[in-house]
Chains A and B, each alone.
Chain A
């Protein structure tokens, strides 16, 4: 009995693992699945014969019998469902084979048992294919967000990452809130103070076109250059918390920002070749 079961499942395994010749293997696979119930029926009959002879082990044998009966049912079910699918659409099967060929080329690189199992369940269904694509896209976006949000790449798991992102967005919104409060408390006489700032925002812009020099001179007046380098580097380097303080210290914060930026720019030649 044990021998039967082991042989039947050994026949299973190679086809599950073997993803090299799938168009062939699927057909063989069906035959194999269809054969399985018959063999198991034989085995169960043998077992019952054994039962008659050996009454002492009856309970255990019965238990085993139940187990054995469960297995053939499941395999028979799967075989029936496979047959139904085959009957349903041979056109679909052609498409399926093409898809499986495509998948094969990917999976040959990393032949995984889990991958194959998942594909058996999913590949036939267009919905599941779309779902898989969607999931991939979402994970891509999550990676992009991970580069944007500081401290997010230490966290594992999507839920925690989302929490981190939400916290970050909320903190940024709070900062805007706070800064607007600060700005509102400033005397409105100074509201157009920044127009000179605007005028020299143009200058660093022109410098940016030849920003390839690793160490632009850090003057107080160049406002956009360091931040721009921030943006360029964001996806590459792990970003130390860029806006650490909710309360900006009017003297110290900017100095701190410059220092961080300088530090990062010094790192730049190290990190860019790694991309």
Chain B
């Protein structure tokens, strides 16, 4: 730890690394709450038709992204953009431009939510944070799936 304090950049990094722990906890609780809500909305039977499956899939995905964004809160640009997009999803939907012609940072702009209105420096910053959150989210979802599959086999 003493060696950490010598390098200010590394200590900054280290303090930034402390967050994901709480962030992951927040993320998990939010996601589970969202899933619980979904449970009450849906019929208790397993999805029958393809359309129903698709609808559920979309709902779960929306829950995943929304829980991610709300766990991070409004201090990050990507989470703000994500929440804004979710709110305005029903009203208007912009069709994306020609994706094939975009490379590098431009392509990153398309991928990271809210990346269109950022300069390259903050875009990279947001991307780093977004990656962290995505990794955490994937881990959580995996754990949930695993536990659910194990519990279903027990039952």
How many residue pairs, one in A and one in B, have C-beta atoms under 8 Å apart?
A: 190
Q: Is the interface of A mostly helix, strand, loop or mixed?
A: helix
Shortest beta-carbon distance from B154 to chain A in Å: 11
Q: Are the CB atoms of A190 and B152 closer together than 8 Å?
A: yes
Known: A188-B43, A231-B17. A197 touches B138 (CB 8 A): no
Q: Are the CB atoms of A180 and B60 closer together than 8 Å?
A: yes
Known: A145-B127, A162-B105. A201 touches B25 (CB 8 A): yes
The one of B4, B130, B141, B148 in contact with A180, judged by C-beta atoms closer than 8 angstroms, is: B141
The one of A148, A176, A224, A228 in contact with B128, judged by C-beta atoms closer than 8 angstroms, is: A148
Q: Are the CB atoms of A250 and B107 closer together than 8 Å?
A: no
Residues of the A chain whose Cβ atoms lie less than 8 Å from the Cβ of B107: 162, 166
Asked if A57 CB lies within 8 Å of chain B CBs, one says no
Q: Are the CB atoms of A243 and B135 closer together than 8 Å?
A: yes
Chain A's closest residue to B150 (CB) is A250
Residues of the A chain whose Cβ atoms lie less than 8 Å from the Cβ of B18: 232
The one of B20, B28, B130, B145 in contact with A250, judged by C-beta atoms closer than 8 angstroms, is: B145
Residues of the B chain whose Cβ atoms lie less than 8 Å from the Cβ of A87: none
Residues of the A chain whose Cβ atoms lie less than 8 Å from the Cβ of B47: 184-185
How many residues of chain B are within 8 Å of chain A by beta carbon? Answer: 69
Asked if A169 CB lies within 8 Å of chain B CBs, one says yes
Q: Are the CB atoms of B131 and A250 closer together than 8 Å?
A: no
Q: Are the CB atoms of A176 and B111 closer together than 8 Å?
A: no
Shortest beta-carbon distance from A66 to chain B in Å: 43
Known: A228-B24, A232-B17. A180 touches B64 (CB 8 A): yes
Query: Which chain A residues in 188-228 approach chain B with CB under 8 Å?
Result: 188-195, 197-198, 201-202, 205, 208, 223-224, 227-228
Chain A's closest residue to B141 (CB) is A179
Q: How far is the CA of A206 from the CA of B152 in the complex (A)?
A: 30
Chain B positions near chain A (C-beta within 8 angstroms): 3-4, 7, 10, 13-14, 17-18, 20-22, 24-25, 28-29, 32, 35-36, 38-39, 42-47, 53, 56-57, 59-61, 63-65, 103-105, 107-108, 111-112, 120-121, 124-125, 127-128, 130-132, 134-139, 141-152
